[in-house]
Chains A and B, each alone.
Chain A
């Protein structure tokens, strides 16, 4: 399946190799993400996860190989938590209008969609809590009516309940809007319960496939926290190091 483009595929990468400042960060990656799919990328620090994401959205040019995006593909991007400089006065509604101007109705809808009260629109971004700000970042990504949400470690700096609530929201949004989701995550229990497919990256794709789901019950999904067994399963998966991307 990987590397084979089809009508459902939003982004397809073939033999993707990325070099930055003379170093090869990623090599020979074949990857496809389809409509409505949730794919999670895991891997150690410095393994090339963020580079992979940036190459897929077109922010980096491949040294070799190709990245094909479906014509007219709209991507909503949620970065790792941003630091907004204290010297920059910025209301939530102004932030949501960057760089494309949005009207009040659109902004209200996006805030409601992400579980934020409409009054928050007039607040300064710097006054928000970490969890609120991540929701604002998600709201901003949704304003472009994306086919694909790209989330790069979107819960960095949130506490455990905050992380669980955020991913629950992502899943909910995905169900409602039907968009695909591609995310980098360290939260293995979330990976195990919420993803359709997991990609392990360490300079190349080490392994990929459906996560080992302990239980598919909605109760399990809602609880997230009981993912230890799932996480262990993933680690074992990691250690056997089967090069799944090979022929």
Chain B
């Protein structure tokens, strides 16, 4: 029963997401963008509501609102409010308005839980196409701009002296996160999508010696956690998002404990 068409669709979609989320998540960890990930994810809920209200495709509504949030945060950063305050206002406002809009538009068929926690039964062939296109776009962007992104992450000043514009690199990363969030929301859900970015990268940190090593390891860990999580979700008939994130978190706990054990017993 496990190996039916739904499962394979979800698996192919999940692996596409994980391959992009792993390396991109490293930048989210290095640059402390986790809260920004939440803000775009919450904006995506608003996007779902808007798409239903205007009778357009959910994927369009989600990508427009997530990108809009990214641009808004980019433009408002550094204008008085601390970044975490700004994100706190933006993220929770978007979620509140999004949930209200979903309920008030009165779409009887809409299952709010599916967008908050993910629902793999939602994944269509078209979704798989969009997810893989998005994943390849993010992957290509990271490979193409890797050196500039990394230099700007290490130091704005150092980057500027090399002719790199740190603000442009920051914007590229914010848009990439918005795109990843938009394409993952159906599988993982808005409330947990940031975990898919942060946990594999955080797990890879203790095992890696270079940024490239951490990015590759993070991709492997994300794919493993997504695959195991989806198997669990199907076997136990639970939502996919929590199953994937719980698997990922278990991996994080195990490597952290192993690291602590090594430090105390081997030096």
Contact = CB atoms under 8 A, between A and B. Distances in A.
Contact of A79 (B30, B155, B208, B209): B155
B214 A77 contact: no
B168 interface: no
Contact of A88 (B153, B162, B163): B153
Interface string A58-81: 110000000000000001010110
Interface string B148-166: 1011011101111111100
B210 interface: yes
A77 B164 CA distance: 13
Interface residues on A, range: 20 to 34
Given A98-B147, A99-B147, A77 B158 contact: yes
B162 A85 contact: no
Contact of B30 (A54, A57, A85): A85
B154 A98 contact: yes
Interface string B215-258: 00000000000000000000000000000000000000000000
Given A99-B147, A99-B148, A99-B151, A90 B210 contact: yes
Given A57-B161, A99-B164, A124-B209, A88 B30 contact: yes
B161 A98 contact: no
Nearest to B28: A87
A234 to B, nearest CB: 27
A9 B202 CA distance: 49
Nearest to B159: A99
Contacts of A87: 29-30, 202, 205
B213 interface: yes
A89 interface: yes
A84 B29 contact: no
Contacts of B210: 89-91, 94
A59 B154 contact: no
A73 B77 CA distance: 34
A77 B161 contact: yes
Contacts of B214: 89
B209 A82 contact: no
A100 B147 CA distance: 8
A167 interface: no
Given A85-B30, A88-B211, A99 B155 contact: no
A133 interface: no
26 contacts: A54-B160, A58-B163, A59-B160, A77-B158, A77-B161, A79-B155, A82-B155, A82-B158, A85-B30, A85-B32, A88-B30, A88-B153, A88-B211, A90-B210, A91-B209, A94-B210, A95-B154, A98-B147, A98-B150, A98-B151, A98-B154, A98-B158, A99-B147, A99-B148, A100-B147, A150-B161
Interface of B: 29-30, 32, 147-148, 150-151, 153-155, 157-164, 202, 205, 208-211, 213-214
Given A89-B205, A89-B214, A95-B154, 12 more contacts: A57-B161, A58-B163, A79-B158, A79-B161, A82-B158, A85-B32, A87-B205, A88-B153, A89-B213, A98-B150, A98-B154, A150-B161
